[in-house]
Structure 1
Amino acid sequence: MTASFLILRIGDTRFALPLSAVREVLPVLPIDAAPGLPAPVLGFVTLQGEPVPVLAPLLLLEPTTRVEHVALFAHLVRLRDGGPCLLVDRAEDVVSGMVAPVEADHSLNAAIVGELTIGDDVAHVLAPDRLLLDSERATLAALTAAAARRAEQWGAA
């Protein structure tokens, strides 16, 4: 079955995110980073008056790496259903294609579920629901609630 994907560049690697999982693509906005956040949580952006967590997908997929800098043309990809924003080096294109499966032991954190051929290149297909464990989602929800309370307190001052 053919599906549509948003092609993302993260470092030297191309990823494909099902377009059905994407709410919007935004330019990089100011990220409020409170101390003590887990490494993959870069901070929060304010969208429509609410804090939305910003995650570094590279740190979710390869925890030993680091985010050195934010590229000039980086994007925030906001996921649907109240999901977080993913900081990517570039949202490149929207393409349609068929996904070829990958072996489970070739998937980073089981989040890569296939490969999509794009010309002479391959993009790794991400399953957005596999980027975080249930416990990590719960922690992220608690951190987001704390960021909302913090913003409310600053707004009242």
Structure 2
Amino acid sequence: MTASFLILRIGATRLALPMAAVREVLPMLPIDAAPGLPRPLLGFVALQDRPVPVLAPELLLDPQAQVDAIALFAHLVWLRDDLCLLVDRAEDVAQGNLSPLDPAHSLNAAVVGELALADGSTAYLVAPDRLLLDAERAALATLTAAADARRDQWAAA
């Protein structure tokens, strides 16, 4: 069965997300970063008048990675589960069939397949529900509630 995927570039790596998991692709927006956030959490963007966490996928997939300066044409990919991923570029929408990936080569079990692209390159399919552990999702919900409370305090001042 052929499916549609959003192709993302992070450094030299191409990732694919199922289009069903993507709410919207946004241009770079101001990121509010309070001190003391966990390393993969870059901060929060205001979407629909509420804070939405922005995660660095390269840090989720490789904890040793470094996040360099944010590129001028970077994108935020707003996922349906109310997370944003900061990517160097949302490149295209592609259709195709996935090839299975050896589980030993999956990064944190989040990469679940390979998609051959028309230019001969490969994009690695990321399962959005596997990007965070349950405990990480709970911690992220707590941090998001704190960001929302902080925003309300500033609005009341």
How far is the alpha carbon of 1:134 from its aligned partner?
0.2
For residues 35-83 of structure 1, give each alpha carbon's deviation from its aligned partner in whole angstroms, at most 9, with x where no partner exists.
Answer: 00000000000011100000000000010111111011100000003x2
Distance of 1:113 and 1:68 partners within structure 2: 26
1:9 aligns with 2:9: yes
**Runs of 4+ residues over 4 Å off in structure 1:** none
Query: Counterpart of 1:92?
Result: 91
Query: Counterpart of 1:147?
Result: 147
How far is the alpha carbon of 1:128 from its aligned partner?
0.3
**Considering only aligned residues, what root-mean-square deviation do their CA atoms show, in Å?**
0.6
Please show how residues 110-125 of structure 1 align to structure 2 within 5 Å.
110-119=109-118, 120-125=120-125
Distance of 1:108 and 1:43 partners within structure 2: 23
The residue identity in structure 2 corresponding to 1:12 is: A
Please show how residues 40-79 of structure 1 align to structure 2 within 5 Å.
40-79=40-79
Query: Counterpart of 2:25?
Result: 25
Distance of 1:35 and 1:118 partners within structure 2: 40
Query: Counterpart of 1:134?
Result: 134
How far is the alpha carbon of 1:113 from its aligned partner?
0.4
SS of alignment partner, residue 136 of structure 1: helix
SS of alignment partner, residue 137 of structure 2: helix
Alignment gaps of 5+ in structure 1: none
Distance of 1:84 and 1:104 partners within structure 2: 25
For residues 109-141 of structure 1, give each alpha carbon's deviation from its aligned partner in whole angstroms, at most 9, with x where no partner exists.
Answer: 000000000021000000000000000000000
- How many pairs does the alignment contain? 156
The residue identity in structure 2 corresponding to 1:61 is: L
Distance of 1:47 and 1:8 partners within structure 2: 21
Distance of 1:98 and 1:143 partners within structure 2: 37
Alignment gaps of 5+ in structure 2: none
Query: Counterpart of 1:37?
Result: 37
Normalized against structure 2, the TM-score is what?
0.98
Distance of 1:69 and 1:59 partners within structure 2: 14
SS of alignment partner, residue 108 of structure 2: helix
